[in-house]
Structure 1
Amino acid sequence: MTVQAKSSDRQTPEGSAPPRSSRIISIQRWSIVLLVAGGALNYVDRATLSVANKLIQDELGIPVAKMGLLLSAFLWAYAFSQLPIGGLIDRFGPRRLLGLGLFGWSLAQAAGGFVTSFGSFISARFALGVGEAPLFPGGARVVRDWFGIRERGFATGLCQSASSLGNFVAVPLLTYLMLSLSWRWMFILVGAAGILLAGVWWMMYRDPSEVALTPEEHRYLTEGDENTSSGPPTLAQWGHLFTHRTTWGMIAGFFGTIYTLWLYTGWLPFYLEHERHMSVARVGVLAAIPYFFGCVGAVVGGWLCDFLTRRGWAPMTGRKLLMVCALCGISVCTVGTVFAKSDSLALALISVSLFLIYIASSAAWATVPVAAPGQFTASLGSIQNFGGYLGGALAPAVTGFIVQRTGSFSEALMLSAAISLAAAAAYLLLVRGTIHSEGPAGGAAKS
């Protein structure tokens, strides 16, 4: 990627959005391509265990409830790694942290192909969670660093589409690898692909501090963004983010979003086999359908964020509206899935749920670059993601215990619907405004 300065010959009319230089456009395209590739691979890695769920149970003798714990091991490690990782990204930059994270999680993924017991599998999944922690907070920082405020929503939506794209590709791809080779080789090959991608990221991506920006390029990146500041946050400033109602509203809203997402990510193949009595080969095809709709929802959600901003909505208000509406819709569709008599209707409702989940996810992540000053972007994003993945960590384990106790997914789905509705209420009541910087130290003022 070129880092030589290029001045644009175009003149910017007073009050209009400044133009992007050809270099900025190139950096944006490469950044999004690499983030989407990393995000898709990230979710392929996560899906390996759910796709191979029954084969791993049979070979290693792991009961259903313990499989829920195994699915959650990654998520607990991922959730608690979020707390320090955001501040580290804001201090050292996404190039270093995302590169190291991608390399580390890929090694852990490959190690999953060599496990011989429940304990060793737990360790490999824990390491996977730690390694994957930098990706989405780092992606939020990349969007904040390289996109103007009018374009951050769509760029965020593209990045968020990677997770659903990964799940869409993962189910048929991993099923094919698993049935053609073995579940162990499935883990090893996916890990090798990640190590290769880590090298590409390190060679291609650059942080803004590594690029000599022209005045016009700097203006494009900051124009219209009233919540800008510079310098990495101190530990005290990072901790001060927790004093804001907006921060807690973002945590609660994302908790509900990711709880439902991981109910499906962890258990959808098993649900279709156990509850809907589908064959493994049929599930390998049909389970991909909801994630196609999720991929569309992520892009639509990001586009809607920018559309509402262009129509005159305050960025925070527009994103809040999308989050609340999407979470309410998720609750309705999840209840509908419980009472759906036909497999087709159940799959359609799950598909709409995934569509809305990814609209909510795009809106939540698009809120991060506008909710706090620039040097807090990854920090706030990781705090939000911590809340989300507390929900994500609970979902597979709670679902596993409920299914083992009742023999059905009905109670687990109804609980998820209630959590989505509560998350919508929390977002509506707590998210009130942006978190502004104050004073020369760049501390955060109450929202």
Structure 2
Amino acid sequence: MHSTPATAVPPRIRHRQVISLALLLVSGVINYLDRATLAVANEYIRADLGLSLGEMGLLLSAFAWSYAICQLPVGALVDKIGPRWLLGMGLVVWSLAQAAGGLVSTFGWFVIARIALGIGEAPQFPAAARVVSNWFPARSRGTPTGVFNSASPLGVALAPLLLPPLIAATSWHWAFFATGALGLVMAIVWIALYRDPVRGELDNAERAYLEIDGAEAGGKAAPAAGFAAWRSLFRHRTTWGMMLGFFGSVYLNWVFLTWLPGYLRTERHMELAQAGIAASVPFLCGFAGALIAGWASDRVARHAASPVAGRRNAVVVATLGMVAFTIPAALVESNTVAVACIAVVIFLANASSACAWSLATVAAPPSHVASLGALQNFGGFLGSALAPILTGYIAQASSFVPALLTGAGIAFLGAMCYLFLVVRPIPEQY
């Protein structure tokens, strides 16, 4: 299929696009700062609360399980209620849960706070996918999807830079209080500034821009989102391909996200300071990966046989690249080469994630973009919850080499699920 000449973005639409993406980027960075606070303050919390390594492992995993499970209903809720109010409510819930983490004094209450954090943070990325589908035509959704996905590695990279000085000057409790307060401010800003497009308030040029590539507004209006339609998504192999595929990609990403410092210290025998620097560089590469992938996937999609094929192929290529660079990262003797390979893996992991979320905006029926994106994210975060546990057991029984190779194998299977199961978009049901 040949590309179609680009249509100029009407000024009012451009204004809303910029505001929406800026808000999603900032809220996403806060989202990941809150997730990372526990990891940054790990040793202080263990010493203060007298936690064992096993208890800390359970505490670190509590967030991922509640977050994954909540992806099942939250996408449908975003489609029904809208991203403005659901993300606004999510910001309030997760910020209060984050602040509560600074007040707890027992392991049990800390677990409850982390579970609540996972529940509150669940709407962030499904809502972001809905926002992109609302304000961008299908051919142009890769770049904005890359922007909101870049918040993930950026937040992870900023946490060890911003939080340790605060902890050193006060205590670990204030890292939770400060990030919680930041989220509450962001909730007010989000609700005050974000608006969904209202068809009756758009002029002809604005409607024509948003309806490029067969968007719903030019013809029959999309039906209201409902449970029966949400349940019907499971009848399509595209849904299962995206869930299983994202499981593989996110699993391998979280092997490094949770174990990279420990791997560099244990397996690579790096000094503490050296390992800290080596562990931060790959996530800066991941920030670039999300931005570049979003931009590139738009270019690929415009020349592909279909929007779904173009964005699916971008996910497959990025995921296979993760596999290809994980293998030498596990096997080479040189620490420098290993860290360079890991940086490429995390670059590609965030590229894969950005492309996967942009795939959701074109593979889903218009009324269920957030629902399909959330189901894909549910599969991914099942992988994220299992990755640190399985990696730890394999490394304990043998070494990190088979643990990394296992992650590469799971990611390869995920790429194949995308390639062979995600073939066509899911039709709207009226």
Instruction: Return closer, same or farther for 1:76/1:89 CA change in 2, 3 Å cut-off.
Output: same
Read off the aligned partner of 1:343 and give its amino acid letter.
Answer: N
Q: Are the aligned partners of 1:65 and 1:401 in contact in 2 as well (CA < 8 Å)? A: no
Residue 36 of structure 2 corresponds to 47
Which consecutive unaligned segments of at least 5 residues does structure 1 have?
1-14, 443-447
User: CA shift at 1:28, angstroms?
Assistant: 0.2
Aligned match for 2:214, one of 218, 225, 237: 225
State TM-score, norm by structure 1.
0.89
SS of the residue 2:213 aligns to: coil
SS of the residue 2:312 aligns to: helix
Aligned match for 1:198, one of 184, 187, 195: 187
Q: Which moved more, 1:237-246 or 1:285-294?
A: 285-294
Alignment of 1:348 with 2:337, yes or no, is no
Residue 285 of structure 2 corresponds to 293
Read off the aligned partner of 2:178 and give its amino acid letter.
Answer: L
Matched residues in 2 for 1:265 and 1:125: separation? Answer: 18
Q: Are the aligned partners of 1:320 and 1:427 in contact in 2 as well (CA < 8 Å)? A: yes
Residue 163 of structure 1 corresponds to 152
Matched residues in 1 for 2:344 and 2:371: separation? Answer: 31
Which consecutive unaligned segments of at least 5 residues does structure 2 have?
none
Matched residues in 1 for 2:203 and 2:371: separation? Answer: 27
User: CA shift at 1:403, angstroms?
Assistant: 4.2
Matched residues in 1 for 2:216 and 2:414: separation? Answer: 26
User: CA shift at 1:24, angstroms?
Assistant: 0.7
Read off the aligned partner of 1:144 and give its amino acid letter.
Answer: S
Residue 418 of structure 2 corresponds to 427
Alignment of 1:251 with 2:243, yes or no, is yes
Aligned match for 2:142, one of 131, 134, 153: 153
Q: Are the aligned partners of 1:273 and 1:279 in contact in 2 as well (CA < 8 Å)? A: yes
Alignment of 1:266 with 2:258, yes or no, is yes
Residue 16 of structure 2 corresponds to 27
User: CA shift at 1:201, angstroms?
Assistant: 0.6
Q: Are the aligned partners of 2:367 and 2:428 in contact in 1 as well (CA < 8 Å)? A: no
Q: CA-to-partner distance for each residue in 1:393-424, whole Å, 9 max, x for gaps?
A: 11122233444555x43332222111111111
Aligned match for 2:405, one of 395, 402, 414: 414
Matched residues in 1 for 2:62 and 2:105: separation? Answer: 17
Q: CA-to-partner distance for each residue in 1:310-359, whole Å, 9 max, x for gaps?
A: 33442111112121122122122222222232332222111101011011
Aligned match for 1:365, one of 357, 361, 366: 357
Alignment of 1:72 with 2:64, yes or no, is no
Q: Which moved more, 1:146-155 or 1:95-104?
A: 146-155
User: CA shift at 1:373, angstroms?
Assistant: 2.0
User: CA shift at 1:309, angstroms?
Assistant: 2.2
Matched residues in 2 for 1:195 and 1:311: separation? Answer: 43
Alignment of 1:119 with 2:119, yes or no, is no
Residue 327 of structure 1 corresponds to 319
Read off the aligned partner of 2:425 and give its amino acid letter.
Answer: T
User: CA shift at 1:206, angstroms?
Assistant: 0.8
Q: Are the aligned partners of 2:67 and 2:118 in contact in 1 as well (CA < 8 Å)? A: yes
Read off the aligned partner of 1:290 and give its amino acid letter.
Answer: P
Matched residues in 2 for 1:182 and 1:359: separation? Answer: 36
User: CA shift at 1:308, angstroms?
Assistant: 1.0
Alignment of 1:186 with 2:175, yes or no, is yes
Q: Are the aligned partners of 1:68 and 1:399 in contact in 2 as well (CA < 8 Å)? A: no
Matched residues in 2 for 1:55 and 1:266: separation? Answer: 18
User: CA shift at 1:245, angstroms?
Assistant: 0.6
Read off the aligned partner of 1:46 and give its amino acid letter.
Answer: R
User: CA shift at 1:279, angstroms?
Assistant: 5.0
Q: CA-to-partner distance for each residue in 1:279-328, whole Å, 9 max, x for gaps?
A: 55544443221111101111111112111123344211111212112212
Matched residues in 2 for 1:216 and 1:46: separation? Answer: 42
Read off the aligned partner of 1:84 and give its amino acid letter.
Answer: P
User: CA shift at 1:389, angstroms?
Assistant: 0.6
Q: CA-to-partner distance for each residue in 1:19-45, whole Å, 9 max, x for gaps?
A: 322111110000000101111111111
Match runs of 1:84-163 below 5 Å: 84-163=73-152
Read off the aligned partner of 2:246 and give its amino acid letter.
Answer: F
SS of the residue 1:208 aligns to: coil
RMSD: 2.0
Q: Are the aligned partners of 1:103 and 1:195 in contact in 2 as well (CA < 8 Å)? A: yes
Read off the aligned partner of 2:291 and give its amino acid letter.
Answer: V
Q: Are the aligned partners of 2:222 and 2:428 in contact in 1 as well (CA < 8 Å)? A: no
Read off the aligned partner of 1:198 and give its amino acid letter.
Answer: A
Matched residues in 1 for 2:356 and 2:254: separation? Answer: 16
User: CA shift at 1:437, angstroms?
Assistant: 1.7
Instruction: Return closer, same or farther for 1:211/1:36 CA change in 2, 3 Å cut-off.
Output: farther
Instruction: Return closer, same or farther for 1:400/1:314 CA change in 2, 3 Å cut-off.
Output: same
User: CA shift at 1:110, angstroms?
Assistant: 1.4
Q: Are the aligned partners of 1:68 and 1:398 in contact in 2 as well (CA < 8 Å)? A: no
Matched residues in 2 for 1:128 and 1:339: separation? Answer: 37
Instruction: Return closer, same or farther for 1:413/1:19 CA change in 2, 3 Å cut-off.
Output: same
Q: Are the aligned partners of 1:257 and 1:420 in contact in 2 as well (CA < 8 Å)? A: yes
Alignment of 1:382 with 2:382, yes or no, is no
Residue 227 of structure 2 corresponds to 235
Matched residues in 2 for 1:171 and 1:226: separation? Answer: 42
Q: Which moved more, 1:168-177 or 1:424-433?
A: 168-177
Q: Are the aligned partners of 2:157 and 2:283 in contact in 1 as well (CA < 8 Å)? A: yes
User: CA shift at 1:193, angstroms?
Assistant: 1.0
Q: CA-to-partner distance for each residue in 1:214-269, whole Å, 9 max, x for gaps?
A: 22211211121356742322211100000001110000111111112222222333
Aligned match for 1:394, one of 382, 386, 395: 386
Instruction: Return closer, same or farther for 1:135/1:73 CA change in 2, 3 Å cut-off.
Output: same
